Amino acid sequence: MEAMQLDAHGAPLRLVQRPDPLPGPSEIRLRVGACGVCRTDLHVVDGELPGAVLPIVPGHEIVGRVDALGAGVQGLRIGERVGVPWLGHTCGACPYCIGGHENLCDRPLFTGFTRDGGYATAVVADARYAFPLGEEGDDTALAPLLCAGLIGWRSLVIAGDAPRLGLYGFGAAAHLVAQVAAWQGRTVYAFTRPGDAASQAFARSLGAAWAGGSDEPPPALLDAAIIFAPVGALVPQALQAVRKGGRVVCAGIHMSDIPVLPYRLLWHERQLVSVANLTRQDGLDFLRLAPRVGLRTHTTVYPLHAANRALDDLRCGRFDGAAVLVPS
């Protein structure tokens, strides 16, 4: 198999040849059809997330077909198309797992971070944390659903019943959430980099009623806002944009420091909450909903060996929607 491997934080990924991995008990091996490029991958590569197991193959928006089954695997068959997300394994025994919050597990494994991911032609995954995808849609269109879609969905649920919803950072996750929120009948306000007219037009094409720079106030107070951009300075701006009792959701796994903010921005029962990882139920709920919404996934496709270019393009905001790697 071929894989793009991270040997040291801050270094470019290196194309390596490896023996095909063998699935252990309760595991499956996939032939990768596509793997999305997520901003979390940038945080892994840049060393902004502590705890990565190096060397590591990044990638956690994986679509592939099962080509080997480990002992004890049930419910999946050879040739079936499945998706593998960020949450790769949980202990099932800690208070969080027992209490229905496996996303907060004390002893988790994460795909592309503490176990090898999908920047490769083959990958091994825990079968219990993989989602059957069926045969509708192509691999590249489905790949971003496995994180941008899932985390976006969890963030939307946590945002609550918010008729006027602000989205800060209009990248892979927001371009999917905007469509879901508009389908639900919400009014979407999209905040992009200041002066980014192309991204603002892109947001409006996906159902946003208003799009402007993150330095602009919305035309009406928001009921809730979701911050996808990893920029802590957006937190006080979002708090200022929501009404009394409104909620601001920080959706990223990493964010720069939040600046000191006056208490008046939080007062009047405004809430500031974060989203961490996802649960398997999030995945089941969202993947059932996606066909009903008729989600349009906008992708820029790169060959596997161009993973470094895809990451750099993501870092610099050179495309709208999501980037996807496809093995040659």
C-alpha 21/C-alpha 27 separation (Å) is 11
Q: Which CATH number fits domain 2-145+298-326: 3.40.50.300, 1.10.3720.10, 3.30.750.24, 3.90.180.10?
A: 3.90.180.10
C-alpha 157/C-alpha 289 separation (Å) is 13
Percent of the chain with pLDDT over 70: 100
pLDDT tens-digit profile of 168-218? 999 999 999 999 999 999 999 999 999 999 999 999 999 999 999 999 999
Return the pLDDT at 108: 98
Q: Containing H/E element for 208?
A: none
Read off the DSSP letter of residue 218: -
Question: 149-274, superfamily in CATH?
Answer: NAD(P)-binding Rossmann-like Domain (3.40.50.720)
User: How much is the mean pLDDT over the chain?
Assistant: 97
Quick one: tokens of 143? 């790949």
> What pTM, to 2 d.p., does this model score?
0.95
C-alpha 189/C-alpha 206 separation (Å) is 11
Return the pLDDT at 34: 98
Is 328 a residue whose pLDDT tops 90? no
C-alpha 45/C-alpha 310 separation (Å) is 13
Percent of the chain with pLDDT over 90: 99
Both ends of the chain: CA-CA distance in Å?
A: 12
pLDDT tens-digit profile of 213-257? 999 999 999 999 999 999 999 999 999 999 999 999 999 999 999
* 23 — pLDDT class (breaks 50, 70, 90): very high
Report the DSSP beta bridge partners of residue 2. 17
Positive/negative CA dihedral, 50, 20, 328, 132: negative
What's CA 205's distance to the chain center, in Å? 21
Q: Domain extents for the chain?
A: 2-145+298-326, 149-274
Identify the three-state secondary structure at position 111: strand
- Centre a 10 Å sphere on the Cβ of residue 167 and count the other Cβ atoms it contains: 31
